[in-house]
Amino acid sequence: MKKRIAIFASGSGSNAQKIMEHFKRNSEAEVVLVLTNNPQAYVLQRSDNFEIPSHIFTRHEFYETDEVIRLLKNLQVDLIVLAGFLWLVPMSLLNAFPNKIINLHPALLPKHGGKGMYGDNVHKAVLAAGDDESGITIHFVSENFDEGEIIHQSRFKIDADDNLEVVKFKGQQLEHLHFPRVIENLLKKMKS
């Protein structure tokens, strides 16, 4: 039986799209659901394009009820992937899916992580720190932002004249290249 992936995203969903593309014709795994807290998120259009069901939830549903957990359990989800999802994952969800929730962070953790460190905020912090390299970190999700066990890191060099857009572009290249493959490798290691 194919492994089942659920993707959480809050925005555009370019990483979600790369994951959906990667698993579209995969015999081992498939994306079965895209979830978002943002009814305007472009990721909903992307999931629609791949004919993958989506679910929009409220803050109340996510933090005060077990609706999201029930939905994921009913779909027998094996792995939850956060792809640009901005809310802290509640303990109830972490407990329901232990070591089965992963996230991609657009910097080399533990540097430039924590609350509010997402998207351009991260890249601006990297540039402000004068770092000569940055990269991506794929990690398990814990009860604190960006503190879970690291699964994979990839790096790129920051040149002296790199601006925000260039750093962001270099990072996205690594995200799109590595995130789907890391997910696939993780699923292969999981017991059926």
Residue 14 in any domain: the answer is yes
Domain that holds residue 93: 3-107+136-153+178-189
Residue 24 in any domain: the answer is yes
- Between helix 164-189 and helix 14-24 the angle, nearest 10°, is 40
Task: Output the pLDDT for position 190.
Answer: 86
Residue 67 in any domain: the answer is yes
State both tokens at 172.
């996205």
Three-state SS letters, 4-47: EEEEECCCCCHHHHHHHHHHHCCCCEEEEEEEECCCCCCHHHHH
- Give the CATH number for residue 76: 3.40.50.170
pLDDT digits (tens, 9 = 90+) for 52-72: 999 999 999 999 999 999 999
Residue 29 in any domain: the answer is yes
Q: How many domains does the chain have?
A: 1
User: Does residue 191 register a pLDDT over 80?
Assistant: no
Neighbours of 2 (CB within 10 A): 13
Task: Output the pLDDT for position 162.
Answer: 97
Residue 20 in any domain: the answer is yes
Any catalytic annotation for residue 60?
A: no
Residue 126 in any domain: the answer is no
User: Does residue 81 register a pLDDT over 80?
Assistant: yes
From 22, 55, 105, 178, active-site residue:
105
